[in-house]
Amino acid sequence: MTARDVFEYALIRVVPRVERGEQINAGVLVYCRARSFVAARIHLDEARLRCLDPNVDVAAVRSALRAVECVCAGGELAGQAAGDDPGRRFRWLTAPRSTVVQPGPIHTGLTADPAADADRLLDLLVR
C-alpha cells in the first residue's frame, strides 16, 4: 500500500468583471506539507472568458496566471516570496483578494502523488 499524505487545493478563478461576480476556473493550486510540495496547474479557456467579458485583457490575465506559477515555483521568479517555504507561498496565493484572478476556497484530500493529483484536479475541475 502506498503512503498517502494530506494535501490542500484551491481553484484559481478568473473574474473579468469583479462587480458582476461571474467567473471561470482557470487553474488549481496544490499544496502538500508532508512532501514540501506546492504547484499550480493552469488552463485558460479564452473563448469562455470572452463570453463573460468580450473586452477582457487576456494578456493581463495570462500574466497574472504566470505570476501564480512563478510564486509556486519559488526562486528568483517568485519575487518577494522567493525565500518563503511552500506553505507560506500557498497561503499567500490563497489569501482572499478582489482582483481579476482570485483563489477559491481551500479543500483537502489524501495523496500519494501531489503532482499527479494537481493534473487530475485540473482535468476534473478546470478543463
Count how many domains the chain has. Answer: 1
Q: Where are the alpha helices (DSSP H) in the chain?
A: 46-52, 58-73, 86-94, 114-125
Work out the pLDDT band at 1, boundaries 50, 70, 90: low
Task: Indicate if the alpha-carbon torsion angle 70, 8, 32, 124 is positive or negative.
Answer: negative
26: containing domain: 5-125
**Interval 55-64: pLDDT, tens:** 999 999 999 9
* Cell 515555483, located at residue: 73
Element housing 25 (H / E): strand 24-32
What's the average model confidence in pLDDT over 12-21? 92
- Residue pair 22/71 in contact (Cβ under 8 Å)? The answer is no
Q: Is 0.85 surpassed by the pTM of this model?
A: yes
Nearest to 106 by CA among 94, 116, 89, 124: 94
Is a pLDDT exceeding 80 seen at residue 110? yes
